Structure 1
C-alpha cells in the first residue's frame, strides 16, 4: 500500500481486502463495477497469484471484465455460470436496512441482474456511503434511447406524486454526447435529495415505458463491509442481525495497483 494513499482509498482497500476473505476456491463470483469494486478484483487477483485461489468471475461491465482478466481471474458469462455463490460490489449509498443506490458507474442493469442471481450479495464501501435516508446521491435510471425525452417527461410527472424532495432529472453525459451503457442505453439521473419510500419508488419507476431498470437495490444486499482510513473494518450482516469489527494490517510499501498502472 502506497504511503501516499488517501484515507478514502485506504478505506476502500481494507473493505475490499476483508470482503475478499468471503471467497473460497471453486466459487462462482459476481464482480462489481466502480472504484471500490476494482480494489476487490485486484485483491482477488493477488489471491489467485499467491494462494492458487481458483474461481470463476462474472463481471458486471466490460471495464471489470478487462481488469479481472488482467489480474488472472477466469472470466465467464452469467449464462455460463447460471447461478453464483456470491456477488461483491460497491454502492453509492446504503441505509440501515442495507437498501442501496447503485449505478454511479453506469452499470446498474448488469449489477442488479448479477446480484439477484447470487446466493449472497456483499457490498464494500467507505463510511461516506452510509446514509439515514437514500436520495442525496442522484438515482440512476437506465432508459432506452428511443423516445428518451418522452420517458424523461413521464418520470418528471410521476415523481411529483411520490415522497421525494427534488424533481430535477438530467441526462448523463460522456463529454458532449449522451452516456451509453454496455447495453446501448442511456441513463437519466434523478436528483431527488430524499427518498421517503424507496420500495414504492423502485416499483413505480419500472412501470414507466422506456425504463429498463432503476438503481434502487431493495432487499438484495445481505452484508455490508465498511472500511475506515485507519484500517478498521465493520461488517454488518442484515440476515444475522450482527455487526462485528475487524482490522486489516498491510505493508506501507505495497501498492496493489502498481502493475496495472492505476
Structure 2
C-alpha cells in the first residue's frame, strides 16, 4: 500500500481528495498533494482521533474506507506522551514517525513481533532460580541449538517476518514460555520482551497482554523505555538525533539514516505549527 504525502502527484491523490471531500473537505480534485490537501488530511485525522501528521498511510486510508480505528494510536496519546516526557510535540511526532514500524498489529489482529533466536539462547542459559546450574543450562541450550537452530541459536537470524514469526514463537513457547516471550520484540516500537521488569510490568506475560491491547499501550511501553534510560532521555530532550538513534537502533543507525530522518521529521512538524494547534 503506497503512502501519500505532501508533494505527491498521482491518481491515488485524486482518489484521496475525493474521499476527503466526502468527509467534509472542499478540495479541488487535481491529484496534487499540496498544502490544502495536507491541511485537509490533518483535519480529518484530528476529527477521527488518529495521529495528525498529514501523512496518508495504511491507517488513514483504512479509516477513510470505514475500518474500525479503536486499536490504533491516537493523536491524544502523542500529546500526552509529549507532556509526560516534557518534550515538544514535534519531537514525539518525529520519533513516532521514524522509530515505529507505523503499525503495531498484523492483519490478523495480533501485535507485530520479531522473534530473536539468539536472545532465546541467551535467556535459556541465564540462571533464574536458586540451584540453577549454569553449565547444565548451557548444555541443554546447546543441544536445542542443534535440534532447533531456527528457534535457539547463539547467532541472530532465521527471520521469516509477518504472521510466520508467530510460528517460531509458538515453537519457542513449547520449550520455555517465559524465555520465548522475552525473546521477541513487540508492537509498533519493537520493545523486547525481556525489558518487562525494567518497564514496570508484573511479568512478561502481563507485558505481552498489554502490548496486545492496542497501539496506545504500545506507545506507553515506549515512553516507559525512554523514562527508564536517562542517557536516552537526555539525548532526545536535547534533540541530539545521532546520539538518540545510536542508543535506540544500535551502531548501524547511520546506514539507515535514522538520525537524518529524525531531524527532518522534527523540522517538518515544528515548522508546520501543528504542535501548538493540535495540543490546544
Q: Which has the higher helix share?
A: 2
Q: Which structure is higher in strand share?
A: 1
TM-score if structure 1 supplies the norm length?
Answer: 0.20
Which one scores higher on RCO, CA 8 angstroms, separation ≥ 6? 1
Larger radius of gyration: 2
